[in-house]
Structure 1
Amino acid sequence: MQLLVWYDIYLIEIMGKVLGMGNALVDILMQLESDAVLNELSLPKGSMQLVDGETADKVLQALGNGKSSKASGGSAANTIHGLANLGIETGFLGKIGRDSWGDFFRKDMEFKNISPLLLESESDSGRAIALISPDSERTFATYLGAAVEMSAADIPTDIFQGYAYFHVEGYLVQNRDLIRQALVKARENGLKVSLDLASFNVVEDNLAFLREIVSDHVDILFANEEEARSFTGGLNNHEALDYMGKMAEITILKKGSEGSLIKHFDTVVKVGVVEANPIDTTGAGDLYAAGFLYGLIKSLPLEKCGQLGALLSASVIEVIGPKMDEERWAAIKSEIEHIIG
């Protein structure tokens, strides 16, 4: 009897554990007094530019000691942070450099009780410098660094043990051997696989491969309208949802101000939005995924899962960057209790 009780407790502990995998980046948010520095740095306003390490350092030097903040980031890491803030046991697999940026990334994860399963490289750690104009427009200078050096050979065979969900960001699909082997190993270990398509241009550039891995290995698929349109060859709304729903057990189509559509086999649920005062949409999709996965972990109906996703998404767009303070998280948890009933 004691053995059975222990086993039941063990199942409860692991059934909600989530492992994320993605680009390990330090997000550096810099608020600009004017857009003049963008011209000086040859960074088109509103763009996302991939830069080398030297250029990233030059950007930071040019900005001096202006108002800034930093946090461990990357799409999957943002989702994992969201789940950790809601009390879910989590881990994150990525690659960092042996430098102060990598140390910061690790410590920021540990501060939220996220298990940092971080490989190390001699290259500098990746960082995404977000330059915020006075009108709230954001311009990115992103140095991927060590983050993109993770390979299929780097994935430990036992890393999935004890986890129930595996959440992956679409930005990794250009490293096809890595993502294919990770998804295969996750499924072999009995994990539910969750994939966020991440960006429509990533989908366009890797369409055949993405369709293959979604069909073969993905249980939960997140896509916004542009990503869904690219993935389905131009379909919209319910047609796009039906197309994707034939490949994944649960499909979520995020429609911005129109809410979201959720499909589970033959069941389709529509979820509205939560009113917000948007300042910055960074992290909106990542936090939607966190809220939705939290609902699944708690065995909630799909509609409530979507409502939790909408709540977290609406909350994060009211702040600068993809991270929220403790006061806002306390308010979110209170609202979650109301939604769950």
Structure 2
Amino acid sequence: MDNKEKTTAVLGIGNALVDVINVLENDAVLTEFGLPRGSMTLVDAELSRKIYETTRFNKREITTGGSAANTIYSLASLGGSCGYLGKIGDDKLGKIFREEFEQKNIGTHLLKSDKDTGRVMSLVSPDSERTMATYLGAAADLKPTELTREIFSSYSILYIEGYLVQDHELIETAIDLARAEGLKIAIDLSSFNIVEENLGFLQKLITGKVDIVFANEEEALAFTGREPQQAIAEIAKVCDIAVVKIGKAGSIIQRGNERVNVATIEANPIDTTGAGDNYSAGFFYGLANNFSLEKCGRIATLVSGKVVEVIGAKLSDEQWPGILKQISEMD
């Protein structure tokens, strides 16, 4: 990575996916396919195809994505220094993914697979809640043996999406290599059902090797068994910075004994896809600029509040100058 400052650079690792975002008239599709509302469910290629066909007449948008990829894309849009590590297929979707990231001046560490590039069927309910059915494809083909210390050497923070947690060896290898290069480790818990299924592993991992934890209230409850105000205190005991996002009630951030509450901005939500991913992007931008925890949270809230007003996890290039202007005017 040329011209990247290690002191501010964030490397995201995650499932490199293409998002197929569908706006639903009701939740019948979720019931039909047994998808828990508001969750992420892994599906095979056949079920993904069936969901695609069933929703083909819905309003839809197709874009590159994946949780950590969304964060890194938005961080780059803010002017942050960043890179992305994942695996794609040698196909049209993989080519689109690579080109889109390179155009944003994101350091790309995209390994190739014989499998097709993965995709997410993102199903948006009328109240803007999103449910995801994910076919991982090439994304799940990333192997611990393919990671090297050199990949991490130009960065200061490794950001891990919780959707990778099922592969314990991959996560532990990435963290150990990153820590050997002096990186701090950040993780987003991503989905309450993933936390529940990997609770023991996550508790051990976060207690011993993670510096920054992002969670929403459902994930925090699954991780600690407690509601947000108590959950953040528990998480903050085992990491440097804990963040719990509580929807319309805003977010709580704690570092040591310092705790701040950040209110949401006024927004007209139509799709919550990518809200958490964009919150992380704003937060990392604040950290990179050595802003206070409160200002980091306000930037995170601004970015996530703007993205829920559009379909999909990305803001348009035309929106970012206005956001950066608002950030510059913050106290």
Q: What SS class does the counterpart of residue 149 from structure 2 fall into?
A: coil
Within a 5 Å distance, the mapping from 1:233-252 to structure 2 comes to 234-252=225-243
Q: What SS class does the counterpart of residue 209 from structure 1 fall into?
A: helix
Scaled by the length of structure 1, what TM-score is found?
A: 0.88
Paired residues of 2:127 and 2:270 also in contact (CA < 8 A): no
What residue number does 1:83 align with? 75
What residue number does 2:119 align with? 127
> How far off is 1:63 after superposition?
5.6
Question: Residues of 2 paired with 1:258 and 1:33: CA distance?
Answer: 26
Q: What SS class does the counterpart of residue 81 from structure 1 fall into?
A: helix
What residue number does 2:172 align with? 180
Question: Residues of 1 paired with 2:171 and 2:155: CA distance?
Answer: 17
| Bigger radius of gyration | 1
Q: What SS class does the counterpart of residue 14 from structure 1 fall into?
A: coil
Scaled by the length of structure 2, what TM-score is found?
A: 0.91
Deviations 1:255-280 (A, max 9, x none): 11111111111111121111111111
CA separation of 1:63 and 1:22: change in aligned 2, threshold 3 A: same
What residue number does 1:215 align with? 207
CA separation of 1:288 and 1:58: change in aligned 2, threshold 3 A: same
Paired residues of 1:53 and 1:124 also in contact (CA < 8 A): no
Point out where structure 1 has 5 or more consecutive residues left out of the alignment.
Answer: 1-9
What residue number does 1:319 align with? 310
CA separation of 1:133 and 1:199: change in aligned 2, threshold 3 A: closer
Paired residues of 1:261 and 1:269 also in contact (CA < 8 A): yes
Among residues 80, 83, 105, which one is paired with 2:97 in the alignment? 105
Paired residues of 1:71 and 1:108 also in contact (CA < 8 A): no
What residue number does 2:288 align with? 297
What residue number does 1:23 align with? 15
Please tell me the root mean square deviation across aligned C-alpha atoms, in Å: 2.6
Paired residues of 1:17 and 1:163 also in contact (CA < 8 A): yes
Q: What SS class does the counterpart of residue 259 from structure 2 fall into?
A: strand
What residue number does 1:5 align with? none
Instruction: Answer yes or no: is 1:309 the counterpart of 2:294.
Output: no
Question: Residues of 1 paired with 2:124 and 2:324: CA distance?
Answer: 29
What residue number does 1:228 align with? 220
- The count of corresponding residues between Structure 1 and Structure 2 is 330
CA separation of 1:64 and 1:254: change in aligned 2, threshold 3 A: closer
The one-letter code of the counterpart of 1:301 is S
CA separation of 1:186 and 1:57: change in aligned 2, threshold 3 A: same
Deviates more, 1:299-308 or 1:114-123: 114-123
Instruction: Answer yes or no: is 1:277 the counterpart of 2:268.
Output: yes
CA separation of 1:226 and 1:44: change in aligned 2, threshold 3 A: closer
